[in-house]
Structures are given as structure tokens and as C-alpha cells.
Structure 1
Amino acid sequence: MGRVGLNQQKLVLAAADLADAEGFEAVTMSAMARRFEVKAASLYSHVASTADLRAQIAVLALGELAERAGAAVAGRSGSDALLEFASAYRDYARLHPGRYAATRHPLPEHLLAAGRAHAELTYAVLRGYGLGGEDATHAVRLIGSVLHGFTDLELSGGFSHSAPPSQESWLRAIEALDATLTRWARA
């Protein structure tokens, strides 16, 4: 019999914590069964599979990230909104590396709304630049690429071998994005 009080929310939160501590790939049904001291089969009443559990972590992470980013950009526009949005994203990744890794996990169709909410925040930042339509879609992809690329490299230690500190490069990258988006809007 499963541990009293175990439910999907507790399972997903514990799995997210495991992902942060040991890496996203460490999240398996057997690892969670050990953590809760239950048989793995008892977890299937809460999630369908390891893939489902990982998708649920992605939904959790995207929601947390959207909440942080939304609060960070509230009342801001243009370069201020971009910097705060990007910094909320990077700070979240540094604080929750396993959850951050989950945000790149493919979501099944019925869970795609979590990703859309995050994309809408990026579109909101772009409204401060006057970008819309296909230009906005291209710009969302550019921002995502820069944020994911920089953050992935930083988290893997790719910037730790040389000076200046990565924070300086981060600010320069955001300034370059701002300049690109400003020019793009004028074109």
C-alpha cells in the first residue's frame, strides 16, 4: 500500500526536487518509489509513466518560470522588461537546474498550454519594441535561443575557465538583444 497522503502534486514536487539535486535524467519511477518508500507500481495511480512524470515537472517548471518572469516584467517595457525577463529566466535556471532542464522536455498535446503561457510573456516583452506578427515569432525564437544557449553553457561550466565573469557577458548579450530588437522594430 502506498504512503498515506501521496498524491500527484507531492510526487511531482518531489520529482522536481530530485531533478534539481541530481539532474533531470535521475527522475525515474523507481527513484521516486525509493524516495517515498513505496513500490513503483503504486506510483502509477498518480502518473502514467516516467515520461508523464517528467512532462509534469516541465509543466510545473514552466508555470513557476512564467510566474517569476511575469512578476519581473510587470510595469516595465523595452530594454528594462527584456533585462528583467531574461534575468528571471537565468536566475530560475541557476536556482532550479533540474526543473530548468525539464522546460526543454517535449510536452504531449494536452499539456502544451504551459509552454504557450511562457511564450505569451515573451510576446508581451516584444510589444514594448513594437514587434508583431511573424517578426514577433522570429524574435521570440531569437530570445529563446540566446537565453537557453547562454544559460546552458553557463550551467555546464562553459564560461568558468576565463575572465571576465559571465555576468558581464550576460549583460552584454542582453544589450545586444535589445539593440537587435530596437533595430528590427525600425526596419
Structure 2
Amino acid sequence: MVRAGLTAERVTLAGAELADEVGLDQVTMSQVARRLGVKDASLYTHVRGLEDLRGRIALLAADEKTLRIAEATAGLSGKGALLAFADAWRAYAHEHPGRYMSTQISIRIDPELAAKASGPRRAVELTYNMLRGYGLAEPDLTDAVRLLRSTFHGFVALEAAGGFGHARSPQDSWVRSLDALHTLLEHWPPSREGDPS
């Protein structure tokens, strides 16, 4: 018998909380069941298995992170939008490391769930809109999106792993990195599309 009040959303949230505590790759269905005080079998009424749960965690995290970025960047443009966007990204990664990681790795997500989720789609819109403020158009928009994602994710991943051993504070380096990104975006090099070199 399914425990009263147990839903796919509750199972997903329990999995997300556990991912933040122990790491996404350490989450098991048994641990989630114990957290909820149910037998393992009860979870399978709501999620199909561990891969489905991880996909649901990724969609939850995408919604949460996107909402945070949207709120932080509302009404801003240019450097102000870039700084707010980056700081919201980094803060979410610090506060929810397991959830954040689910948004950065390849997870098979149920297409029906993905179609209903607004977070990933809105994240793309927010990023492209912010970069259009720098006057970028395709293919430069896509290149700039990849640069920002690589920079933000690389920084927070190294930070989480203790990879910054120098005496200079990571915060100071973060601020300077964002200054450099802003300068680059303002002076984006011309596209070399079709250049044979």
C-alpha cells in the first residue's frame, strides 16, 4: 500500500535534498525510501527508477536555478545583468551542489516530463537575451553561451573540489573573471565563419 501523501514531487524533493548532502552519484532508491520512511517498492509507484529520479531532480534544479537567475537579472542589462546572472548561478551551485550537478551532466529525461518543464527552456531564453544586450547574434550567441557556461561551471566545479589553493581569495578571482568576461563580450571578435585558416 502506498503511503498517504507520497507523490512524485515529494520523492523528487527527497532525492534532491539527499543529492545536496551526499552527492548526486551517491543517491540510491533505498536511501530515498529511508528518508521518506517507506519501503523501496513504494517509490516505484511514483518514479520508474533511479534514472527517472535523477531526471526529475535535474528538471527541479533547472526550474529553481532559472527562477533565481530571472529574479536576479530582472530589469538589468549589460554588465549588471552579467554579474547578477553569474552570481545567482554560483550561489545556487554552492547552496545546492547535488541538484546543481544534475543540471550539468547528461541524464536521460522522460520526454513527456521535459516537454512540461519550463526551466531549461527559460534558462536558454534568459541567457540569449542577456547576451543580445551585448549586440551578439548567431553564431556568436551560441559561442558566447558556451563560453559563459564553461567559465561559470568550471569555476564553481574547481571551487567545490578545493581546486583553488592559492592565497588569493576565490571571490576576488571571480570578480576579476566577470570583469574580463564583460570586456570580452563588449569587444567580441568578428566571426571567422567560412575562414579557411
- Please give the range of the TM-score, normalised by the shorter of the 2 chains: over 0.9
* AA aligned opposite 2:170: S
- Secondary structure of the residue aligned to 2:139 is helix
* AA aligned opposite 2:109: P
1:41-98 superposed Cα distances (whole Å, 9 cap, x missing partner): 2211111110110110000001000000001111110111000000000001101111
Alignment partners' CA distance in 2, 1:156 and 1:170: 16
Give the equivalent residue in structure 2 for 1:164. Answer: 168
Give me the identity figure in percent. 49
Give the equivalent residue in structure 1 for 2:10. Answer: 10
- Secondary structure of the residue aligned to 2:186 is helix
Give the equivalent residue in structure 1 for 2:154. Answer: 149
* Partners of 2:56 and 2:109 within 8 A in 1: no
Alignment partners' CA distance in 1, 2:71 and 2:6: 31
Give the equivalent residue in structure 2 for 1:30. Answer: 30
Compute the displacement of 1:3 (Å).
2.2
For residues 109 and 13 of structure 1, do their structure 2 counterparts lie closer, same or farther at Cα, with a shift above 3 Å needed?
closer
Give the equivalent residue in structure 1 for 2:52. Answer: 52
Matches within 5 A, 1:27-176: 27-105=27-105, 106-108=107-109, 110=111, 111=114, 114-159=119-164, 161-176=165-180
Alignment partners' CA distance in 1, 2:109 and 2:179: 35
Which structure's residues are more often helix, by fraction? 1
Alignment partners' CA distance in 2, 1:132 and 1:61: 28
Alignment partners' CA distance in 2, 1:109 and 1:21: 25
1:8-64 superposed Cα distances (whole Å, 9 cap, x missing partner): 111111111111111111222111112222221221111111011011000000100
Moved more, 30-39 or 167-176: 30-39
Q: Number of residue pairs matched?
A: 186
| 5+ residue gaps, structure 2 | 192-197
Displacement over 3 Å in runs of 4+: none
- Secondary structure of the residue aligned to 1:133 is coil
For residues 73 and 186 of structure 1, do their structure 2 counterparts lie closer, same or farther at Cα, with a shift above 3 Å needed?
farther
The alignment's C-alpha RMSD in Å is 1.6
